[in-house]
A and B are shown apart, each in its own frame.
Chain A
Amino acid sequence: AQSVTQPDIHITVSEGASLELRCNYSYGATPYLFWYVQSPGQGLQLLLKYFSGDTLVQGIKGFEAEFKRSQSSFNLRKPSVHWSDAAEYFCAVGSGGYNKLIFGAGTRLAVHP
Chain B
Amino acid sequence: DAGVIQSPRHEVTEMGQEVTLRCKPISGHNSLFWYRQTMMRGLELLIYFNNNVPIDDSGMPEDRFSAKMPNASFSTLKIQPSEPRDSAVYFCASSLGLAGTHEQFFGPGTRLTVL
Task: Give residues in A with beta carbon < 8 Å to B.
Answer: 32, 34, 41-46, 49, 51, 90, 93-101, 103, 105-106
Contact = CB atoms under 8 A, between A and B. Distances in A.
A101 B104 CA distance: 10
B91 A99 contact: no
Contact of A43 (B42, B91, B103): B91
Contacts of B55: 99
14 contacts: A34-B103, A43-B106, A44-B43, A44-B93, A90-B43, A93-B100, A94-B98, A95-B100, A96-B99, A99-B50, A99-B56, A100-B100, A103-B42, A103-B43
Contacts of B91: 43-44
Contacts of B103: 34, 46, 49
Contacts of A46: 103-104
B4 interface: yes
Band of interface residues on B: 20 to 34
Interface string B71-107: 0000000000000000000010100001111011011
A97 to B, nearest CB: 8
A99 B42 contact: no
A34 B107 CA distance: 18
A99 B98 contact: yes
Given A43-B93, A44-B91, A98 B42 contact: no
B61 to A, nearest CB: 17
Contact of B99 (A42, A94, A105): A94
A3 to B, nearest CB: 13
A43 B100 contact: no
B97 to A, nearest CB: 9
Interface in B14-64: 42-43, 45, 48, 50, 55-56
A46 B96 CA distance: 14
